[in-house]
């Protein structure tokens, strides 16, 4: 099950990075007027933002499972995961393409950092001591 969740996190981060690369200039995206998006801000309609929120939810599920003594890793992973949707939202509010691109580049960097943190989490998993068969 742990492997399945790690694969899910990896796929989610990779999709997030791919979508971030593809949407560096959101001014070319048409605005959706569907009934299910009424009341949503424009950036909340972006697939990359939805992926970032899903990734954040996964990270918050995994944080309590980290072994004691790894508070720095826990804090870094939480901050990196939270920064992704925050930077997407900030970028959507910028008026120039360069400012948006800067915010999206930061979000992409945080997505990569979050992926590294998930790999470090895997490396810190407690493993039972090796006991050879008698």
Per-residue model confidence as pLDDT tens digits over 56-107: 998 888 888 877 887 888 888 889 999 999 999 999 888 899 999 999 999 9
Task: Output the CA torsion 54→37→18→91 (10° steps).
Answer: -100
What domains can you pick out in the chain, each with its CATH number?
2-23+40-123 (1.20.1440)
Reported pTM: 0.61
pLDDT tens-digit map of 20-66: 655 554 444 544 444 455 566 778 888 888 999 998 998 888 888 87
- The answer to whether residues 103 and 94 touch, using CB atoms and an 8 Å cutoff, is yes
């Amino acid at each position: 099950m742990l492997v399945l969740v790690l694969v899910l996190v990896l796929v989610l981060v990779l999709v997030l990075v791919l979508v971030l690369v593809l949407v560096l200039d959101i001014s070319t995206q048409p605005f959706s007027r569907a009934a299910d998006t009424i009341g949503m801000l424009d950036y909340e309609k972006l697939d990359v933002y939805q992926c970032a929120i899903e990734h954040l939810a996964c990270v918050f599920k995994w944080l309590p499972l980290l072994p004691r003594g790894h508070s720095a890793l826990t804090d870094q992973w939480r901050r990196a995961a939270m920064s992704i949707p925050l930077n997407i939202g900030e970028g959507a509010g910028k008026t120039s393409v360069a400012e948006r691109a800067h915010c999206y580049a930061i979000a992409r960097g945080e997505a990569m950092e979050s992926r590294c943190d998930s790999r470090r989490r895997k490396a810190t998993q407690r493993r039972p001591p090796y006991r050879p068969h008698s």
